[in-house]
Amino acid sequence: MKKIVCSLSFCLFFANLSLAQESDTTWKISGVHNLLFNQASFSHWSAGGQNSLALNALFDYNFNYAKGKWNWDTKLKAGYGISNIDDFGWRKSEDILSINSFLGHQLSKRWLYSFFLDLQSQFAPGYTYADDGDRTLISNILAPAFIQFGPGIGYKQSDNFYFNISPAASKLTVVADDFLSSQGAFGVDTGQTVNYQLGANAMAYLKFELVKNVTLENKLVLFSNYLENPKNVDVDNQLNLNLKVNDFLTTYFGLQLIYDDDILLPLSEEPDNTEFGPHLQLKQLFGAGFTFKFPN
């Protein structure tokens, strides 16, 4: 399963890339590379504090195709970050692999018959750490991977605003790690590597300039499982804010909120906690650094 998912992801990316390299002006490609830094240093500081250093690399590509009645929009996001805090050493602080592809055939001026594919995963193992430094594996490459796809009806006003509704969408939760699958992690049955759900998916994407040199981007994905508790809607909202200083310097703020009642998390941070349940997940990233955009 891991090889299949990786192959599909890379085939989709390189299919877009190879076609985009042709002279066909129906393709529009844009991308942003960010290298962000956070640093804190203390020496004889009366209020106390710990020296820290964090590095994050973020890549964001957009491939937009439009010809005749066909539209194909693909977004690829990849990011990895590490941080170092005194006495704790280097640890992973950011890890994301996201591919969202939306294929549409024009029904009217802005409405389309559509098919979508959405993949969310990460590149490297993730751990929780005990006070004594011992660590426990909680994630790995394609463990989990959340894959959604299906036909639907979409609305596209521009490359920066569109939404899609799929009343017959499939969702696969992949746990391609033997240890995690043996724990029944991320909602898969114990010892299994895939959990299949059939339901309804709704996706909306918006990007605009909030004020001069400040760009806001937001993607919202909702999913309701017809097969079990359809009233419990999975939510994944990703918000990015870019504040441009000049052509090479930027400040970045990212916020992601996830709620999935199939993912059981500790309900307490106490070491002897035995209670698990669904919980709102929050990830926030803020930093300043170098940026490179194309086209400029």
Least confident of 189-198, 220-229, 279-288: 279-288
Contact 30, 294 (CB under 8 A): yes
Provide the CATH number for the domain around residue 130: 2.40.230
pLDDT in tens, 147-202: 999 999 999 998 899 999 999 999 999 999 999 999 888 889 999 999 999 999 99
Q: Sign of torsion, CA 190 196 123 186?
A: negative
Q: CB count, 10 Å around CB of 260?
A: 22
pLDDT on residue 19? 46
Number of domains in the chain: 1
Contact 250, 34 (CB under 8 A): yes
State what percent of residues in the chain have pLDDT above 70.
85
pLDDT in tens, 72-111: 999 999 999 999 887 778 889 899 999 999 999 999 989 9
Domain hosting 137: range is 2-42+50-294
pLDDT on residue 96? 93
Contact 72, 27 (CB under 8 A): no
* Confidence check: pLDDT of 46 > 90: no
State what percent of residues in the chain have pLDDT above 90.
52
Confidence of residue 4 (pLDDT cuts 50, 70, 90): very low
Contact 262, 186 (CB under 8 A): yes
